[in-house]
Amino acid sequence: MSIGKKAGKGFIRLFQRNMLEKLMGLTTIIILARKLTPYDFGLVSITEVLLYTISVFGTTGLSEFLLAYKKDDVEEIFKAAFWFNLALSVIILAIFLGAAPFWANYQDDPRILNISLIAGGIFLFSQIGIIPRVRLNKDLRFDKQVRIQAPFTVLIPLAKVAAVFAGWGVYSLILPTLILTPIQSFFFYYATKLRPGWNMHFGRWREIYGFTKHLIGSGLLRRLADNGDKFIISKLLGLEMLGLYNIAMRMAELFTTQLTMMSNNVLAAVLPKYTDDKKMFYKYYMNSLKAFAFVMLPFLAVMMVAAKPIILLFYGEQWIDAVLPMQILIVYTALRSVTSSFSVVMNSFHLNKLSFKVNLFFTPTHLIASAIGAYMWGIPGVALALVLVRAGFYNWRINLMMKAVEEPVIRWYKDLMPYFLITLIVVGVSWFGSYYMFSSFPNLMPLISIAIIGIGIVVIYNLLVKIFYPQELKTISGFLGGAFPKMQPHFNRLYGL
């Protein structure tokens, strides 16, 4: 089977798993949001901020190193990576648990200490499972990975629902994950038959660190940027507002985060194989990005226009203040989705040092803008600051990425312009239409509103692409033929190709 077909098969398997994960996660959050308060969600979030910030010193770059490794001694390097990863994870866990009492005191809630113990356990067992998962990705055995993860994708959310009805309160958000994660990690090792042995291969640790050290600084800055706004909200606006912000972000990234991660997992395994032919590298990268944008952008348009009925349907009136931040954050999600493969491209060419420069300037700019936004306009201000700052720095990333593949920067924008332009037109038309609908029928059920908006946007979007950009449909069809051959005939029949 060709690399393209293996990647396509893997994408489908990961897509199926992620759809199941999102469906179960969304159903669970709908129930938990009615049983718990915004403060509870904020409490867990602020605890994770500390853990994610500390963990960057040991978790960054290891997967990228193993995926990009091309020498013959793969078995030995994976064994060395296991012990390297375990040692750093234990050190990070010790630092995190040592800092947890001070963090709980600083946030003025003693429950943070208990949450930290649970979150630390989840972190350790998740880290242990990284090495066999990367091995499955490197061998393009995505189907086996999905078969292991699928049962836990169902069990963990169901356990959370059972826990909240059992009266576990805020701990129902994380305790079931602690119980089931080590079992999942065990099955990963069983599937890969990875036996690290007792030889820790200390001599190979320097080689691993030599690659990952350039990503640690960038990763730390990225974690500070991703979690710094949460810290700012918690101190300036309170944990309840942080809970609202988390729900707004969760809905803005509904499906997109997992789909982006899934797409990048496949690209990270495939693109390094084309580094000797930059024309082919860019062609595969851009065609996959076009297919991704074609599917993702109309979905985000529906989420933006129908934000209010979506929040009301899923979470209820107590979360209505999350609507405006959600709409603003969807713009950020769209920008992030189409530029998220930056790290994959740079790592493929071992240019990870350059990403550090971008984050070095971005992180302080973002945090300052978030503080100003929170002080002046509350949560919507933080969301707006995120969009404006990210937009500027994403352009910088695109510039670096196109230099890596030796293509003019303008080509990236020209290649994706049809999708951006049509999405803007569809959002504008739909917004006016939805305003009229909500004004004329103020008591319309949220589910009906979502259905009308969704169908309208999807139909208009696809008609505009068919009429004005038929060549783009042919490009996507060609990509499907290489990666998803069984899907191509259905696509061609649907669009008359």
- How does residue 315 score in pLDDT terms, banded at 50, 70 and 90? confident
CA distances (Å), origin 137, targets 11, 122, 142, 152, 323: 11, 22, 6, 19, 37
Q: State percent of the chain over pLDDT 90.
A: 22
Q: List Cα–Cα distances, 214 to 114, 120, 261, 264, in angstroms.
A: 34, 25, 21, 20
pLDDT for res 310: 93
Euclidean distance between CA atoms 332 and 256, whole angstroms:
11
Are the C-beta atoms of residues 159 and 166 closer than 8 Å to each other? Answer: no
Cα separation, 102 vs 204, in Å, equals: 36
Could you identify the residue written with the tokens 């078995």? 75
Geometric angle at alpha carbon 345, from 145 and 362, rounded to 5°: 110
Average pLDDT for 330-348: 86
Burial of 189 (0-12, 13-18, 19+ CB in 10 A): middle
DSSP 379-400: HHHHHHHHHHHHHHHHHHHHHH
Whether residue 262 has pLDDT greater than 70: no
Q: How confident is the model at residue 30 (pLDDT cuts 50, 70, 90)?
A: confident
Q: Indicate the pTM of the whole model.
A: 0.73
Percentage of the chain lying above the pLDDT 70 cut: 88
pLDDT for res 306? 95
Q: How far apart are CA 133 and CA 146, in angstroms?
A: 10
From residue 334, alpha-carbon distances to 163, 273, 342, 413, 472 in Å are: 34, 28, 14, 14, 19
* Model pLDDT, residue 440: 86
Q: Determine the pLDDT at residue 462.
A: 94
pLDDT digits (tens, 9 = 90+) for 72-89: 777 787 888 888 888 888
Helix-helix angle 307-314:3-35, to 10 degrees: 60
pLDDT surpassing 60 at residue 7? no
**pLDDT digit string (tens) for 163-197?**
888 888 778 878 888 888 889 888 888 888 878 88
Cα(267)–Cα(273) distance, integer angstroms: 10
Q: pLDDT band at residue 352, thresholds of 50, 70 and 90?
A: low
Residue 297 pLDDT > 90 = yes
What pLDDT was estimated at residue 270? 74
Give me 217's structure tokens.
């600084």
Checking if the pLDDT of 5 tops 80, the result is no
Segment 393-420, tens digit of pLDDT: 888 889 988 998 899 999 999 999 999 9
Per-residue confidence (pLDDT) for residue 216, from 0 to 100 = 66
- Backbone angles phi and psi of 405, in degrees to 5: -95, 5
Model confidence at 422: pLDDT above 60: yes
More confident residue, 99 or 324: 324
